[in-house]
Structure 1
């Protein structure tokens, strides 16, 4: 059984935005299994929706893991199955489709964030927000190499070109970060439809001042009020204060 040492509450929302005809994002909120996911599909009309839905549908079958390593193994197995299914669909349609994925896994007071693409995972701790994930994009690679500045990245013409995604190749390239859950932590998972219109500081302010449901709905309304040029999906997980006296187990790695 998933035994997160600290209590938590979570919520998710998704919207097609103000411009797109379809919502090709998908998300998953599975507190019983310790899993939260956002996925941003790509590949044109209908195809992107199929890709992101495949990821969520497969991950929804993870079930209750017996340990943190088991949870991680189940996640990777389901993601691999989704990748194979998306590849088969791509071949049958004669097009390339795929999806980003950003996931939060929790068990025994530990967390792991896994991602491919530019959907993000943020951690708000001690009134400070930090981006745990690192975008798999062409512009991020240029930033890392010092080719362009942070200011130039904001207006870079190919800033949305993704370098890794699920379904675009036989092998999945996925990164991860892990750590200990602390009382008061807030995790925010989102597709780039949120970060295109809302700053990190605004995400933090919304998340710390309201319940997960209210924070998600407030952030969504902000995106729509500012034009909502893309699909937007937000999942927020808020950790309690541990008033039951329980503590994380630092020896358990996800």
Structure 2
């Protein structure tokens, strides 16, 4: 899937591709590419739990209904409303089935020159700027948490049997908890959203090489093909967004620190923005 759309002075070119992989018969990943409203997302239904496909499609379906915002703040408010609705739907489904119905969510919002990256779980968002790649997200997994607390070394984390167990996901708690990274888009920036089915088989340098040197849709195909060549033990989904403009590049933004967003619980049937 490809698309281009000027947003303010930005020209957005994007591509996406999702594949069930070589082991699983069903694809529980889902993605959203909506440059017309500045919303991009990857969701991965929680593996090993029931209704993973339902979970990821519920998250993406809710985000697809955001509509055209009038400001960056309005876009964020609409996002919060939709993710709360999705969380409520998944919580209800889980209670009805006496199981967990949850999904990761990695979301990129763009309005004018502003961007916000929000996530829950281990689906990732990368930014390529110049010749460098940076992971904007931090995996919400037991392994990562123990590593950051100094309990596990990097080598121990890589071998720890519960390293991939999620500590956050949409639908698992009454109040969805998401991290936030925000800043300004510079001309030439490339964003890559992906499920852990990709990062389980490719390195950051592979993502940099494919997305940093190729058109977005070709980069998506190249990364999925590489994952398949290496076994593709999980569903794999990739979204690539390339930003350019017709004027001068924006000034370099100040470094932003990640923040945790605790979304308030609101009725699922609340009024739309």
TM-score (norm 1): 0.94
Q: Which residue of structure 2 lines up, in the alignment, with residue 84 of structure 1? A: 88
Q: What does 1:37-56 correspond to in 2, within 5 Å? A: 37-42=41-46, 44=48, 47-56=51-60
Change (3 A) 1:47 1:141: same
C-alpha RMSD of the superposition = 1.8
Instruction: Indicate conservation of the 8 Å contact 1:13/1:216, yes or no.
Output: yes
Question: How many Å apart are 1:249 and its aligned residue?
Answer: 11
Matched position secondary structure for 1:171: coil
Change (3 A) 1:249 1:160: closer
Higher relative CO (Cα under 8 Å, sequence separation at least 6) belongs to 1
Match of 1:9 among 8, 13, 34: 13
Where does the alignment leave 5 or more consecutive residues of structure 1 unmatched? Answer: none
Where does the alignment leave 5 or more consecutive residues of structure 2 unmatched? Answer: 1-5, 254-273
Give CA deviations for 1:67-121 in whole Å, capped at 9, x if unaligned.
0000000001000000000111111212111000000000120111000000000
Matched position secondary structure for 2:45: strand
Question: How many Å apart are 1:43 and its aligned residue?
Answer: 5.6
Once residues 101 and 164 of structure 2 are traced to their aligned partners in structure 1, the CA distance between those partners, rounded to angstroms, is 16
- Following TM superposition, the consecutive aligned residue runs of length 4 or more in structure 1 with deviations greater than 6 angstroms are none
Instruction: Indicate conservation of the 8 Å contact 1:109/1:248, yes or no.
Output: no
Q: What does 1:219-238 correspond to in 2, within 5 Å? A: 219-238=223-242
TM-score (norm 2): 0.87
Once residues 43 and 232 of structure 1 are traced to their aligned partners in structure 2, the CA distance between those partners, rounded to angstroms, is 12
Q: Which residue of structure 2 lines up, in the alignment, with residue 25 of structure 1? A: 29
Question: How many Å apart are 1:14 and its aligned residue?
Answer: 0.6
Question: How many Å apart are 1:4 and its aligned residue?
Answer: 3.8
Matched position secondary structure for 1:42: coil
Instruction: Indicate conservation of the 8 Å contact 1:117/1:136, yes or no.
Output: yes
Once residues 249 and 78 of structure 1 are traced to their aligned partners in structure 2, the CA distance between those partners, rounded to angstroms, is 31
